[in-house]
Amino acid sequence: MANVVVVGSQWGDEGKGKIVDWLSEKADVVVRFQGGHNAGHTLVVDGKTYKLSLLPSGIVRGGKLSIIGNGVVIDPWALFSEINQLKSLGVDVGPDNLRIAENAVLILPLHQDLDAARENSAGIQKIGTTGRGIGPAYEDKVGRRAIRVMDLQDLDQLDVKVERLLHHHNLLRKGYGLEALKNSDVIDKLKEIKDLIIPYIDSTWLLMDKLRREGKQILFEGAQGILLDIDFGTYPYVTSSNTVAAQAAIGSGIGPKSIDYVLGITKAYTTRVGNGPFPTELDDEVGQRLGEVGNEFGTVTGRTRRCGWFDAALVRQTTKVAGITGIALTKLDVLDGFEELKICTGYKLNGKIIDYLPSSEQAQRNVEPIYITLSGWKESTKGARSWSDLPAQAVKYVREVESLIEVPIAVLSTSPEREDTILVKDPFLR
């Protein structure tokens, strides 16, 4: 058996929630290893819809241990709001099935204040953040002034740590015209939630080492997508963490040799939320149709996603950067009924043909997509559970995608329902 990492191969919103839920049936442990509550997963289980932001998708499955790793930045108020929401839907959530890394960083209200102030003052240079304090929290982490989960267990030392944090933040707040904060403003807020979060705290790296040695099956769940990676994404229109598969090891405290398979979740077309370059974006009725049929609205923000044709050059690039072993292709059914479909195979830039997206923001905006055109299909693929259920042209489209991205299709999803899945290669089997 293998330990599996699931990452998004595009700009996020590829359908990771369903695939992780589908895989979690075989997993003993599901680990979230980066990001915060700026990303969301929608799960449909037995007719019930669950919207998750911080909690690993395995939490809705009985008998699974969920872990929030050290690479995640945690808004404790958002976390317990999510826990209470799940409890209202009949999901059992408690210290027995959820553990939180003691060295994970906390998102505080002052981080959200700073996030909003920056974005509001950016004018046309807005990044398009969710305003939830993710970036400022990561900044404090690397600046070595963050408040971490474990700090809630030692209130005697908290005053000194908050003073160091506010020495930085109050200077920024003054620059943005915000009122300065006192230590008590922060500490009183933390006292509100410390007793809620303390029962969940654990040395999760040690716990996972024990579970691994016992032969437990571990599923690592990423948020967002590789094109939002702080190093390899469309910078500066990216998130504040590494979203590539290698982060699963760093963001959870498990050695890279313990990762056996990387599954890249890939939408059969391309979408993006927020600002930034998007070579295959369609500002026409085709793009509008993709959005409407695909219900392309952000789980967390509700923002309309920008839509375009499948970009094989981009996915080929992200599979190499992340070391993706196999692809789970999702939302094939959204393409039903199109007369023709296009796939981007590369770009033209300054008169030259290139097969990758350059790192330069200006170059990314100037590339012109090179397309091939395939015939569409009129039959429905929705709910297909075997290759024989698919129209011939749909199979041809999938095989063309597979050939162009140079990674095999391991899983094919044909609806939001977990059962509507075609398994080609089981990621959990070596």
- Range list of H helices, 253-391: 285-293, 312-322, 361-366
| Cα distances (angstroms) measured from residue 345 to each of 191, 375, 420 | 54, 16, 29
- For residues 98 and 61, the answer to whether their CB atoms sit within 8 Å is no
Cα distance between residue 405 and residue 215, in whole Å: 33
Q: Active site residue: 13, 21, 115, 229, which one?
A: 13
- For residues 20 and 116, the answer to whether their CB atoms sit within 8 Å is no
Q: Active site residue: 21, 37, 41, 169, which one?
A: 41
Closest CA to 31 of 202, 275, 282, 239: 202
Packed helices 392-405 and 312-322: angle between N→C axes, nearest 10 degrees? 50
- For residues 381 and 390, the answer to whether their CB atoms sit within 8 Å is yes
Q: Which two tokens stand for residue 62?
A: 């009985």
Does 41 participate in catalysis according to the annotation? yes
Cα distance between residue 190 and residue 162, in whole Å: 11
Q: What is the dihedral of CA 295, 301, 302, 306, to 10 degrees?
A: -60
For residue 229, give every residue at least 6 positions away whose Cβ sits within 8 Å of its Cβ, in sequence order, or none: 238, 239, 241, 242, 243, 244, 321
Q: Which two tokens stand for residue 334?
A: 């959204």
Which 8-state DSSP code applies to residue 1?
-
Cα distance between residue 176 and residue 128, in whole Å: 19
Cα distance between residue 171 and residue 166, in whole Å: 8
Cα distance between residue 264 and residue 234, in whole Å: 18
- For residues 407 and 326, the answer to whether their CB atoms sit within 8 Å is yes
The residue with tokens 């369609």 is 282
The distance from CA 331 to its chain's CA centroid, rounded to whole angstroms, is: 17
The residue type of 131 is G
Catalytic residues: 13, 41
